[in-house]
Amino acid sequence: MTRATLPLCALVAGCYTYRPLPITVPPEGQRVSAQLTTEGSRNLTAQIGPEVLHLEGNVVESDSTGFDLDVQQIESYRGIRSDWHGERVRLPLQAVAGMQQRRLSLGGTGLLAGALAAGMYLIYRSLEPGSSEGSSGQGGGPVR
């Protein structure tokens, strides 16, 4: 593994947080988690199923009345999560009670990168020739 691979691993396995967004039209390409109103959940039942509280996905298109979301995950009022595969759902703004934006957590990712680097260093050191105990060449054979 090269040194350049470590930052890539940290970004792929990076830590993400969700930060509140004002309930306005989110920018296209943004990853968001939208909490639905009770009425909004009822109105969207035919598209997303019953009793859905949150939808998470990428904003594809938006206008002043709402936005299209390529849904990656939904969560019901009971806390049951279901993975989706980018199915598009139109969310009218009046159906949204709140939104959060997904952001990379620099602190968490930095800690993860440090832990990965330390772990890889320890593995590298343990695999070096002569690094294990009893390999000093001393010590005898069986006692007779």
Domain-located, residue 85: yes
Domain-located, residue 49: yes
At residue 119, the pLDDT reads 79
Domain-located, residue 118: no
For residue 91, give the H/E element and its range: strand 81-92
The Cα 11–Cα 91 span in angstroms is 30
Report yes or no: 32 and 102 within 8 Å, Cβ to Cβ: yes
Supply the range of the domain harboring residue 26: 17-104
The Cα 85–Cα 65 span in angstroms is 25
Report yes or no: 115 and 9 within 8 Å, Cβ to Cβ: no
Domain-located, residue 121: no
- Residues with Cβ within 8 Å of 52's Cβ and at least 6 positions away in sequence, in order, are 36, 41, 44, 45, 74, 75, 76, 77
At residue 97, the pLDDT reads 92
Domain-located, residue 39: yes
- Mean pLDDT, the chain, integer: 79
Domain-located, residue 29: yes
Domain-located, residue 71: yes
CATH number at residue 62: 2.30.30
Q: Pseudo-torsion of CA 38, 35, 44, 52, nearest 10°? A: -80
Split into its structural domains, the chain has a count of 1
Specify which of 7-11, 27-31, 44-48 reaches the highest per-range mean pLDDT. Answer: 44-48
Domain-located, residue 2: no
